[in-house]
Chains A and B, each alone.
Chain A
Amino acid sequence: MNTYSVDVAIIGAGSAGLAAAIMVKKADLNVLILERDRELGGITLQCIHNGFGLHEFKEELTGPEYIQRFIDQVKELEIPYKLDTMVIEITPEKVIYAVNNKEGLIEIKTKAIILAMGCRERTRGAINIPGFRPAGIYTAGQAQRFVNIEGYLPGRTFVILGSGDIGMIMARRLTWEGCQVKAVVEIQPYVSGLIRNEVQCLEDYGIPLITSYTVTKIHGKDRIQGVTISKVDRNFDRVIGSEKFIECDTLLLSVGLIPENELTREAGAEISEMGGPVVDNNLETTIEGIFACGNVLQVHDLVDLVTAEAKRAGLNAVDYIKNKYGKKIEKKEKIKCIAGENVNYIKPDFINMSDLSKDIIFTFRVKSPDRRLLIQFKDDKNRIIYKRKRRYVIPSEMIELKLNLNECKLNPNCKNILVEVVPRPEVLIEED
């Protein structure tokens, strides 16, 4: 068995893992990237559309162009990486066991680990569509891989369930291939991906977006022959009599992403209700020295945001190793962040009390869209410590706020912070 010893091991060589690795290497620490696929780059490689890099590089790139810049840096900095390498275990002592077909079993002793495994797509079973189980049902990302990487077409006529970004992007991609996309069907009354994708991928190609509908039956025993879609009411119960049949030979599912945290869970780190690991404001999980960033922590809207988060995780891992913060803080001295009204989840889950002098980046999503709002942070005495007006909120846009809790005059004995998104009282109206 080959045994390695490194300062920081990074699990996953997608946009998160590469950015984190670069930060660690630039701090002159010893880093190793472990990637289960056959090349560096992760899912961004199959995202051959443009729209990447506007934040990070102030120019518009395709997915492969964007990620290549990081791959080039990894190679320039001579950061070691192992491909086709599957991590099978992380121990609480931060020893990693992995396998690949060249070395067999590998043991890697680490001082810190950065989790950057990304996310996976929700599948049909997870949303329980009744009907037959014929061939011809794919997640949008799987179809994207078939078309963009493997060079195969998964079908001719498509219905796409869910207006997630990958689904809309695939609607356009398949149209370019000569396939027909009959409709994108969305159970919510609004599009669930970015507005720019609705415009550039659906509207520009005349692909109908049918909102407040969902697929209620799958037809066809061998290959799929069509789907029944039905209108849903406010409680997402289907409206009897609203059924429509759409003929198709392929159904794509773009019904959401789930952080992939099997390893995190097995390592013993606490997982939050939304799927990602519980982290503090250093992006450190409940296991000391194990950090998480990118879509394994929370599903991001843009790769650029993943990169930014991963850089922070990289720097924090470096700080951790260099003991910049001195002794570790006990759990009881942490402040818990709680998702309140219309907040689906919030990261970080905890704030490390020793860090209150630093800016803290909060990220969260709302549960439902709304207009003319107030985002407010309250302490455990129900005092508002911070508020900010916002013109509108939608679940598909992650909200990011940078806050300094010292400047908010947070009571040092505070145990909880509640974050809520509430309608703005009329008296407060000022144009913003």
Chain B
Amino acid sequence: MIYDVIIIGSGVTGCSIARTLSKYDLNICVLEKEAEIASGTTKANSGVIHAGYAAAREYTKRYLCIKGNKMYTQAAKELNFPFERIGSFVVAQEDDQIKELEEERKKGIEDGIPDLELILDKKRIKEMEPLLTDKVVGVLHAPSAGLASPYELTFALAENAAMNGVKFFRNHEVVKIKHQDYKFTVRTHKGEFQTKNLINAAGLYAARISRMLGLDYFSIMPRKGEYVLFDRNAIQLNKILFPMATKISKGILVCPTLHGNTFAGPNAQNINDPEDISTTTAGLKEILDGGRLLVPSLPLRSSIRNFAGLRAVPDSYDFIIDNTDVYGFINVAGILSPGLTATFAIAEKVVEFLELLGVQLNIKDNYNPIRPKPERFKDFTKEELDKKIQEDPRWGRIICRCETIPEKEIINAIKAPVGANTIDGVKFRCRPGMGRCQGGFCRPRVIEVLSRELNKPFEEITKRGEDTNILIGRTKDIALNEIPGGSNEE
């Protein structure tokens, strides 16, 4: 079979393109090297939907961001992912920064960003965000800025794409691409795929994929950002808080999450290894120090997790969305911030390119843009809950105590289109293990459910794919020489 379109990469960019294209009468598949979708840059993204004033006017990303921001309202309705326009503050702490903010406001309004406002009334600022530092002299308030959960958005996109016929192949790392007779042959570790059009949305590996077709006109530098997450009982914010931006990043922000937690971060550190998502002592200190400049009462004792993500930073510092010299090969690379905000606008751009390539874009009769909202225990009223449990007792068996997640939600996450097949996959879809105990109580139970639903033994259940097994064998296996032991017999 020859696909019309193959998309490499199932981050938010790849899935957004897949979902947008699933409207048309095309054969599409997505290839992903990891065991789960949304495993790369998407997973540890701030989740901030930017208003769009931050990037300078010479960059494409500014305009795609402003456009993409507006597209979220409709998308959130159709795809039912968590999204809320809570508004952002850029916080000035020196008088001379006010001029800069006013300049940004003016340009933003001109470029179509709604309701940008410079607030200098300290009392009003503090009413809007009581925890903000007393040193604030003014803020740029962007009410259209918001929060989306990047991975829940990506799961929603993938589910909806799959509902509309897109195929997903996970654990398929692309190792070789051949282009011949207007046809691409894409080889992965596990198989071979053929397609007329190929879209490179490989994130940190986009330059590598591009080079497989001899296109070496950009490079991608991984830039690490570390985060610290705080317990929801310890601190509650109203607004996304940015410091004044620096040359290389928007600075360390302090930000609520849609699940009621708060995070501080990210810092920005250029690195070489596209898999280095390690956190560092110096980095964590930098974040906590940085966060405290905005919110002095940041409760250091109540951090529940730290993590790092990588931005795919292109040498041009702008999105690379190109119909390349290789006919039918489209690069969608270097999607750094505000890539999440721009994602729907980026996908539309890809549609335009496919049109230019002469791809027939006929809307399917049976296209369904609605991805139903995942049912959540927490959203039910007491009466609904009682009814749900009567219908299916698995709603009444709580697996995760911290987040109150019943067995049924976990099964739904596994059974969903492009559903979870690892512990992290379950965790990112329905949150068991995301709470205060970080999986201390629920992990054995989640393993049990995964093992039963996927029909795999306990030992084969992994954290996030190959080589990340949780258990090595039964007790006494070492003693009985069934498996090698841990002693150093040298």
Interface residues of chain A, those whose CB is within 8 Å of chain B, are 1, 36, 84, 86, 88, 97, 99-105, 120-121, 123-126, 128, 130-135, 139, 141-142, 145-147, 149-158, 177-180, 216-218, 221-223, 238, 249, 258, 262, 265
Contact = CB atoms under 8 A, between A and B. Distances in A.
Given A133-B307, A146-B444, A1 B281 contact: no
A101 B393 contact: yes
Given A1-B382, A134-B463, 20 more contacts: A1-B383, A36-B398, A86-B404, A101-B394, A101-B396, A104-B396, A105-B389, A120-B441, A125-B303, A125-B438, A130-B279, A130-B284, A132-B276, A135-B470, A142-B443, A152-B471, A156-B478, A178-B486, A179-B478, A180-B487
B235 interface: no
A180 B278 CA distance: 26
B401 A36 contact: yes
Contact of A99 (B228, B280, B398, B464): B398
Interface string B393-413: 111111001101011000000
Contacts of B305: 123-125
B362 interface: no
Contacts of B123: none
What 3 A-B pairs come out closest when comparing CB atoms?
A125-B305, A178-B478, A156-B486
B74 interface: no
B485 A156 contact: yes
B473 A104 contact: no
Given A179-B478, A179-B486, A125 B306 contact: yes
A180 B306 contact: no
B287 to A, nearest CB: 10
Nearest to A133: B307
B299 to A, nearest CB: 12
A131 B278 contact: yes
Contact of A223 (B275, B440, B458, B468): B468
Contact of A121 (B401, B437, B476): B437
A216 B281 contact: yes
A100 B396 contact: yes
B478 A153 contact: yes
B248 interface: no
A86 B396 CA distance: 8
Given A104-B386, A178-B487, A152 B459 contact: yes
A105 B485 CA distance: 47
B67 to A, nearest CB: 35
B385 to A, nearest CB: 5
A221 B275 contact: yes
Contacts of B390: 104
B467 A147 contact: no
A151 B479 contact: no
Contacts of B467: 135, 222-223
Contact of B303 (A105, A126, A178, A222): A126
Contacts of A265: 233
Given A153-B472, A156-B486, A86 B401 contact: yes
A155 B396 contact: no
Contacts of A141: 440
A150 B404 contact: no
A105 B471 CA distance: 35
Of A123, A216, A265, chain B has the most CB atoms within 10 Å of the CB of: A123
Interface string B296-316: 000000011111000000000
B171 interface: no
Contacts of A97: 382
B469 A135 contact: yes
Contacts of B386: 1, 104-105
Contacts of B401: 36, 86
Nearest to B389: A104
Contacts of B397: 84, 100-101
A134 B279 CA distance: 12
A132 B487 contact: no
Contacts of A88: 404
A200 B476 CA distance: 22
Contacts of B444: 142, 145-146, 149-150
B471 A157 contact: no
A209 B326 CA distance: 62
Nearest to B280: A130
A388 B308 CA distance: 51
Contacts of A180: 485-488
A130 B281 contact: yes
A65 to B, nearest CB: 20
Contacts of B487: 178, 180
B436 interface: yes
Contacts of A134: 463, 468
Given A104-B386, A125-B305, A153-B472, A177 B443 contact: no
Given A104-B396, A262-B402, A154 B470 contact: yes
B389 A121 contact: no
A152 B458 contact: yes
A132 B277 contact: yes
A223 B469 CA distance: 7
A86 B402 CA distance: 11
Contacts of A99: 385, 389, 395-396, 398, 406
Contact of A135 (B388, B468, B478): B468
A128 B486 contact: no
A118 to B, nearest CB: 10
Contacts of A105: 382, 385-386, 389
Nearest to A222: B467
6 contacts: A105-B385, A153-B471, A153-B474, A177-B478, A217-B278, A218-B278
A262 B388 CA distance: 24
Contacts of A84: 397
A104 B386 CA distance: 5
A142 B475 contact: no
B345 interface: no
B462 interface: yes
B8 interface: no
Contacts of A218: 278
